[in-house]
Amino acid sequence: MSSTTFKIAALAGDGIGPEVMRAALQVLRAVEKKFALSFAITEAPVGWAGIDAAGQALPDATLALCRASDAILFGSVGLPDRDPTIPKEQRPERAALLRLRKEFSLFANLRPVQLPKVLAHSCPLRPERQGDGLDLLVVRELTGGMYFGQPKKTEEIPGGHRAIDTMVYTTPEIERIAHVGFQAARLRRKKLTSIDKANVLENGILWRETVTRIGKQYADVTLEHMFVDNAAMQLMLRPTQFDVVLCENMFGDILSDEAAALAGSLGMLPSASLGATSGGVTFGLYEPAGGTAPDIAGKNLANPIAQILSAALMLRYSFQREDAARAIEAAVGKAIADGLRTGDIYNPADATAQKVGTTAMADAIAAAV
Ligand code: NAD
């Protein structure tokens, strides 16, 4: 056994959450064996499951568990058809997820987008724009910028109203997200494209200057700058040019969704939200990019890959176990290469593809680890 035991809070949530979480935990157990790691995994309710169990979307006991853990593996929360009368601030999406982001100061959001060549049919772009497959990572600042800057208000003026949102960034906020971006690039193809609007925004000038200065500490990473409007276009025209894409909050919100569309299915997309590092462990919350998919929940139809790859990100960014993260990613790659497809990525025209359910996909990936 390894001398370190990593403490994981597993919060499956609602809809497909429990089935895809089961799959991810099965894969983590396989990794634990193979790499002689030790995971202390504790499951707890969140979302409607939290409301049903303890009257709160984020029960006190669940929050306490998260505080005592090194990382949170999160499923998804929210069921659109459940009690529409419950106030907005008590609904799971806000009361659980936004609360956790705030509680743990999760300032960096990482969204890898990978599309292996064999899944070219899932991508809305023509095959010749996909190169040998897509593989990029959007790193988004999550706690600053226009979404949180003050003043933020709507006031009356003669003839109507005036709405004010304020875009604010400080040097330390840009520095810490830049470090996350450069370090992520080091684990990949060592290229970072920093996105801004330095031709128009004061924030853009400070962003560009700060990222350039931090970049000097990462001489092995190639840094380039791109205006956000051009980046939106380049993602559609030539997505293979990108490795790590570093963005402030609002630009990252928009570009990460645009990039996600390239993968074709939400069922393939993991994400990481990172907070502070202490004692070699970076606190993080890891979750699929998609939601609770009520349309397919409980039917063994959900693609567990987004949740399984979220567990891989946890190993990479929270526990600094690149070897184990890569083993999971390789196992996912093998299952796909072997032709296994859940419904969301199945192409009936592909004679080598075999349609499988959540559990069969999980079994194959765990076995490949
Ligand atoms: P959704 O992501 O749940 O579903 C959109 C579509 O993608 C559906 O057709 C669904 O079947 C499909 N899909 C998503 N994940 C899949 C998977 N793993 N495998 C196969 N198909 C998958 O989005 P929605 O329907 O707009 O939202 C449903 C609920 O989820 C809402 O209550 C919403 O608020 C919530 N939600 C939660 C989160 C979160 O917890 N982070 C994120 C987004 C939405």
Together in a domain, 101 and 176: no
92 lines ligand 1 (CB under 6 A): no
Which pLDDT tens digit goes with each residue over 152-206? Answer: 999 999 999 999 999 999 999 999 999 999 999 999 999 999 999 999 999 999 9
Ligand 1 atom, smallest distance to 295 CA: 11
Residue 198 CA to ligand 1 centre (angstroms): 35
Query: What pLDDT does residue 324 have?
Result: 97
Report how many domains make up the chain.
2
- Our answer on whether the CB atom of 266 is closer than 6 Å to any ligand 1 atom is yes
Segments forming the whole domain that contains residue 146: 124-262
Q: Which residues contact 112 (CB under 8 A, 6 or more apart)?
A: 135, 136, 137, 138, 269, 270, 309, 313
Q: Is residue 198 part of a domain?
A: yes
6: in domain: yes
Q: Does some domain include residue 118? A: no
Q: Is 309 a domain residue?
A: yes
Record the pTM.
0.94
**CA of 288 relative to ligand 1 center, distance in Å:** 9
Q: Which residues contact 351 (CB under 8 A, 6 or more apart)?
A: none
Please give the structure tokens belonging to residue 152. 């933020």
262, 284, 302: which is the final residue of a domain? 262
**Which CATH number do you get for residue 326?**
3.40.718.10
Pair 331, 365 in one domain: yes
262, 294, 312 - which closes a domain = 262
Query: Which positions are catalytic?
Result: 147, 197, 229, 253, 257
Residues 159 and 193 in one domain: yes
Does the residue 253 lie in any domain? Answer: yes
In short, whether 14's Cβ falls inside 6 Å of ligand 1 is no
Q: 89 and 53 share a domain?
A: yes
Q: Are residues 132 and 249 located together in one domain of the fold?
A: yes
Q: Are 360 and 258 contained in the same domain?
A: no
Rounded distance from Cα 253 to ligand 1 centre (Å)? 17
- 291 CA to centre of ligand 1 in angstroms: 3
117 within domain boundaries = no
Q: How much is the mean pLDDT over the chain?
A: 95
Q: Is the CB of 293 under 6 A from ligand 1?
A: yes
Write the residue with the smallest CA distance to atom 18 of ligand 1: 267
Burial 350-367 (b: 16+ CB within 10 A, else e): eeebeebbbebbbbbbbe
What is the full per-residue pLDDT of the chain (369 aa) written as tens digits? 446 899 999 999 999 999 999 999 999 999 999 999 999 999 999 999 999 999 999 999 999 999 999 999 999 999 999 988 888 888 898 899 989 999 999 999 999 999 988 899 889 999 889 998 999 999 999 999 999 999 999 999 999 999 999 999 999 999 999 999 999 999 999 999 999 999 999 999 999 999 999 999 999 999 999 999 999 999 999 999 999 999 999 999 999 999 999 998 899 999 999 998 888 789 999 999 999 999 999 999 999 999 999 999 999 999 999 999 999 999 999 999 999 999 999 999 999 999 999 999 999 999 999
